[in-house]
């Protein structure tokens, strides 16, 4: 699952070895630590997602639910303060619009 939040882009997948845990992955470590400040970040320099954290399913669900419950913006893109991240999101938005709009 990909999640684009105002402070980063993360990928969440099941952990291969531990069914109680999800693997939260990102290209920047702060995209994980913004949501899970106490996460133990594993760095894999040659991996598709360089930064990873094994986090309990409950903690992942709790934090994502909190983000949704506390959401106040009515336009996502304008609330992304990191210019490089916002530009990336706009590129993704445009790519998807071109291919999926009917």
Residues 96, 31: Cα–Cα separation, whole Å? 22
The pTM of this model reads 0.90
Is the pLDDT assigned to residue 102 strictly greater than 90?
Answer: no
What are the tokens at 29? 């470590």
21-26/42-43 β-pairing = unpaired
Model confidence at 16, pLDDT cuts 50, 70, 90, reads very high
Residues 10, 49: Cα–Cα separation, whole Å? 9
What is the tens place of the pLDDT at every residue in 37-85?
A: 999 999 999 999 999 999 999 999 999 999 999 999 999 989 999 999 9
Distance of CA 80 to the CA centre of its chain: 13
């Amino acid at each position: 699952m990909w999640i684009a939040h105002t402070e980063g882009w993360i990928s969440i997948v099941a952990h291969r070895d531990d069914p109680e845990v999800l693997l939260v992955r990102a290209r920047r470590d702060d995209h994980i630590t913004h949501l899970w400040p106490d996460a133990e970040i594993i760095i894999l320099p040659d991996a598709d997602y360089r930064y990873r954290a094994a986090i309990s399913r409950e903690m992942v669900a709790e934090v994502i639910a909190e983000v949704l419950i506390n959401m106040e913006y009515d336009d996502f893109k304008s609330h992304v303060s990191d210019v490089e991240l916002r530009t990336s999101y706009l590129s993704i938005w445009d790519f998807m619009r071109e291919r999926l709009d009917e």
